[in-house]
Structure 1
Amino acid sequence: MIFVQTNQLKPGMIVGQSVMNDVAVVPLLLADQKLTIRNIRRLRELNVPGVYIKTKYSEDIIAQGFVDPILKHKITSDLKNVCRNFVSKSAITSSMANTLIEVSSSLMDHILSKDEYVLNMVEIKTFDNYTYSHCINVASLATLIGIQLGYSRVSLQELTSAGLMHDFGKLDVPIGIINKPSSLTTEEFSIVKRHPTYAINKLKTSMKISLTVLDGIASHHEKYDGSGYPNGLVGANIPLCGRILAVADVYDALTTARSYRPAWQTKDTLDFMASNSGTHFDPDILNAFFKTISVYPVGTMVKLTDDSIALVIKNTPGCMLDPVIRILSSKKLSNGTEFDLAKVENLHIVKSIDADSEIPMEIFD
């Protein structure tokens, strides 16, 4: 399967992987479904970044989301129930805390059951359920970082829990501010900056939520150079959990489409984050994170130095910038030829195929 960005989709293309909608059990699109103009229009309305499409060059490429769709739907449902009560109460109840602990345990166990702890596919996210998907994604990413750092199961569960709850305070921020498509005023931003405190004020009443989790939630918007909020903490004074959440939070936010901007590509996001190492992010945490993310995920199209268009079919640890590729369209190379770019001189990736790129439509015949 090949990941094709939404504005490059054409009617008649065959869907390679079902596109799930976190709000409902019924998928937006089913695998093997033929795309229509109506389907594509709906994907654009939801700001879905793209879809995996079947082609003759990618029959052996199987796209698997990092979190099982059934588990993700259950976690989303549980989070919704907790959040619904969270807004109406001044303190978290024992029942709500138990649900969150159970959810975090199931998510952590799911991640630990995987053969490799690397995000190696493009995560297809729908726009209509951003809050819950974002919490699940941040929890997953934080857990992956914890695995890289050698955390124990107890510490991993605390990371997962903190990720799931890190934005709960936004539930007490007016929805008009949260979804505002334009820049926030100074007053509006000052309200948003209080959301970690809003969350802690309710969560700290439960004896079942550890101090590590509370500290992580309270500090996930602190920056390594001291320019973050709410307390302007610097470096190691920022709780480790908070430094990990900061990395996971920014990555997922940038790679998710919002009402006011499209999703960033993985390579662009990682470049941006690398440029903020030591300022926004703890360099050691960021380096651990980079080991969990494929720069060019399997199934994505890339442009090579000789102008060939290729498909990423495998990533090799330690060689994330030079994956194994399969030629899709080239003036010099035969279509279908495979290369391990780590072993080939003078042939490298120039860029991912972005939304504005011309792609050879004949590969979808």
Structure 2
Amino acid sequence: MSRFVRTHVDDLQLGMFVADLDRPWIDTPFLMQGFTIKTVEELAALRQLCTTVDVDIGLSQTPKNYDPLLTNGGAKRSRVVTQMFGGKRLVSYEDVFTFEQEMVSAEKVFRDYEVLVGDLYQGIARNGSVDMSAVRKTVDEVVDSIMRNADACMLLSAIRNKDSYSYSHAMASSILAAAVGRQIGLPIPDIKTLAQGSLLCDVGKLNISSRILNKNTPLSTEEVAIVRSHVDQGLELLSHSRGVSPEVLSIVAYHHERHNGSGYPNGTAGAEIPPMARIAGIVDCYDAMISDRAYARGVSPADAISKLYTMRDVDFQGELIEEFIQAVGIYPVGSFVALTDGRVGIVVTEHRRRRLRPRVMVLLDGEGMPATPGTYVNLLEETEDRLGRPLEILKGIEPMDYDIDPSELVF
């Protein structure tokens, strides 16, 4: 067998050595004609620019179980995901509104969602049950907004007030889960169920002492067991609530299980974990990584995406990690970024097929001064700076390092 294998870009993995492309090297950002894929950004760029590449198996550092003869032109992921959902008819959703059009209604939808989550947690503390009719009504509005244009709600969630981790995490998880469901092409009723379940995953933590949840030092073995009991406590609470579907209960029950069986409460693995719970686990993990906690600062969205990629087929099913990244991008909406021309901004919209070229609202100019309000750069259209040099995202940044307060931004 030849050491050079023509490989579809959907089948590429970190560690592979790309020997040749299906287009001239000069038309790409890759300086070396032949390189090892080391970052998620390089992987994403290859998938956006090419259809197939030639992989040098001899120079590649690929998993032992990788067999180039079993790749299937990118169809494997679609086939696996379709089978995962029991043959449901998956569809391709297109944006109905632009970002600006959807922001008008999304801001009200998001405010209503904040009120709902606050009332939800207070109601649980007071009555020991969940008002599912209120949950369904508001979640339906959120999902409807995401179906029209996912970027608006995702942006509002990203810059949300994070004073209460429990509230903000529940909201963000449900919004992200709905976005992933949209990306996969699930029927809308299933997307709403997924969002409901992701919203309710951590309700059991209301029965756990805030002293333990907010502890800024390592938890003891006993405290870890107490925190992990929130899954069973949540199921117990929901069992006393009217109108909770079996699918929602399943999401709550399995969202901390892991692909390799290392999760809890039962160590369930692989295909034994219900598909919607697998998605909920990914979004729960991602939002936890980007959120500030009592014991650690959150990482940037781009760093969290890179970390998630290393967890594919270990903690989470690889095909679903791919769908998650397709849904949110390498620099997700709400990410603060530095451009190669020195400007700093926030990603406000994604181009569904060109994730590395989003639309950015400029906050600081090249000299670090506040930019004119309403200044945007569309990296899909603006490919060069004023000096003719390539214009692209240089890196993700932390807003506080640039004296930017996300809560004060106006879109």
TM-score above 0.5, yes or no:
yes
Residue in 2 aligned with 1:265? 300
**Residue of structure 2 equivalent to 1:329:** 366
Q: 5 Å matches for 1:102-251? A: 102-114=137-149, 119=154, 123-206=158-241, 208-251=243-286
Could you say which residue in structure 2 is the equivalent of 1:72?
110
* Residue among 338, 347, 361 paired with 1:302: 338
Alignment deviations for residues 270-306 of structure 1 (CA, whole Å, 9 cap, x no partner):
00111111111121221111122143347833253xx
Instruction: Pick closer, same or farther for the CA change 1:168–1:126 going to 2, 3 Å.
Output: same
Q: 2 CA distance for matches of 1:109 and 1:129?
A: 25
* One-letter code aligned to 1:228: G
C-alpha separation in 1, matches of 2:272 and 2:354: 34
- Equivalences, count: 291
TM-score, length basis structure 2: 0.61
CA distance in 1, matches of 2:259, 2:216: 28
* 2:397 alignment partner AA: I
Task: Write the distance in 2 (CA, Å) between the matches of 1:128 and 1:186.
Answer: 28
Q: Which runs of 5+ in 2 are unaligned?
A: 1-98, 368-374, 404-411
Q: In structure 2, what is the equivalent of residue 283 of structure 1?
A: 318
- RMSD across aligned positions (CA): 3.6
Distance 1:88 1:299 in 2: 37
Specify the SS of the correspondent of 1:103. Answer: helix
Larger helix percent: 2
Give the secondary structure class of the aligned counterpart of 1:80.
helix
Cα deviation, 1:15-52, whole Å, max 9, x if unaligned, reads xxxxxxxxxxxxxxxxxxxxxxxxxxxxxxxxxxxxxx
Alpha-carbon shift at residue 131 of structure 1 (Å): 1.3
Aligned to 1:35: none
Offset at residue 115 of structure 1 (A): 6.9
Alpha-carbon distance in 2 for matches of 1:118, 1:295:
18
Change (3 A) 1:166 1:65: farther
How many angstroms does 1:181 deviate by?
1.5
- Identical counterparts, % of pairs: 24
Q: What is the alpha-carbon distance in structure 2 between the residues aligned to residue 338 and residue 114 of structure 1?
A: 17
* Matched residue, 1:352: 396
C-alpha contact (below 8 Å) 2:159/2:334 kept by paired residues: no
Q: 1:346 to 1:288 in 2, by over 3 A?
A: same
| Rounded Cα–Cα distance in structure 2 between residues aligned with 1:191 and 1:148 | 35
SS in 2 for 1:302: strand
Give me the whole-angstrom Cα distance separating, in 2, the residues matched to 1:261 and 1:320.
Answer: 29
Per-residue deviation at 1:170?
0.4
Q: Structure 1 regions of 5+ residues with no counterpart?
A: 1-60, 331-335, 360-365
Indicate the residue corresponding to 2:38 in structure 1: none
What is the TM-score when the length of structure 1 is the normalising length? Answer: 0.68
Change (3 A) 1:117 1:156: farther
The alpha carbon displacement at 1:139 in A equals 0.7
Deviation readout 1:141-173 (Å, 9 max, x if unpaired): 111111112211221121111011111000111
